[in-house]
Amino acid sequence: MSQATTFQVQDGQLLGARQIPSPNFNQRPEDTEIQLVVIHNISLPPSQFGGGYIEQFFQNQLDWSKHPYFQTIEGMQVSTHLLILRTGEVLQFVNFNDRAWHAGRSTYLAQKECNDYSIGIELEGSDDLPFEAAQYAVLTEVVACLQQAYPKIQQHIAGHSDIAPGRKTDPGPFFEWNAFRQQLHHFKNK
């Protein structure tokens, strides 16, 4: 691959992403290779965009009193490696070398604890609204970049609902898997 991309991985950081460190991470088990990308959606409050609440949530700085929904997630300590906002801006909360807390109880191809060996990507979105074209465009570039940096990922791109079925529904019915995979294929072969 020779095309110039906006993003690059260096020492576990995604250059081109805004760095917003989250305290919610720990070490991956020793000798764990990154081999899976997990795609999620999140919006706070649900189906409302902007406002900066997701960022505050992943930084343990969300004011739980600001919205009734926030009280249902009060005290939760979670994170993701990357968040792609509706505008296509990418934020990084956890270094890829570290284990972010995004998947919970999960299994992929008979391997449990997906947090150990995956990279989590949250799209600002919900199960009941389409995602933005800018988000697909950036997700495509970011995943291509991650596949280059972590070759074991290859085709291993799953939704949260795939690795935690019955428990999680995201990225939801509006995430266009076929279009995304085609876009990724074209991007890598252009």
Q: Which residues bind Zn ion (CB under 5 A)?
A: 40, 160, 170
Annotated catalytic, 55? no
Q: Which of 30, 33, 122, 124 is catalytic?
A: 122
Q: Is 173 exposed, middle or buried (0-12, 13-18, 19+ CB in 10 A)?
A: exposed
Q: How far apart are CA 33 and CA 2, in angstroms?
A: 25
* Least Å from the CB of residue 159 to Zn ion: 8
* Least Å from the CB of residue 158 to Zn ion: 11
Between residues 159 and 184, which has the closer beta carbon with respect to Zn ion?
159
Pairing of the two strands 157-159 and 36-42: parallel
Q: How far apart are CA 16 and CA 57, in angstroms?
A: 22
* Least Å from the CB of residue 100 to Zn ion: 11
CA distances from 6 to 47, 60, 74, 96, 142 (A): 29, 29, 36, 18, 9
Q: How far apart are CA 6 and CA 188, in angstroms?
A: 14
Between residues 128 and 148, which has the closer beta carbon with respect to Zn ion?
128
Between residues 3 and 77, which has the closer beta carbon with respect to Zn ion?
77
Between residues 132 and 170, which has the closer beta carbon with respect to Zn ion?
170
* Least Å from the CB of residue 107 to Zn ion: 14
Between residues 3 and 47, which has the closer beta carbon with respect to Zn ion?
47
**Cis peptide bond upstream of 45, omega within 30:** yes
> Among 158, 150, 152, 153, which residue's Cα sits nearest to residue 180?
158
* Least Å from the CB of residue 160 to Zn ion: 3
φ, ψ (nearest 5 deg) of residue 134: -60, -35
- What residues are annotated to the active site? 122
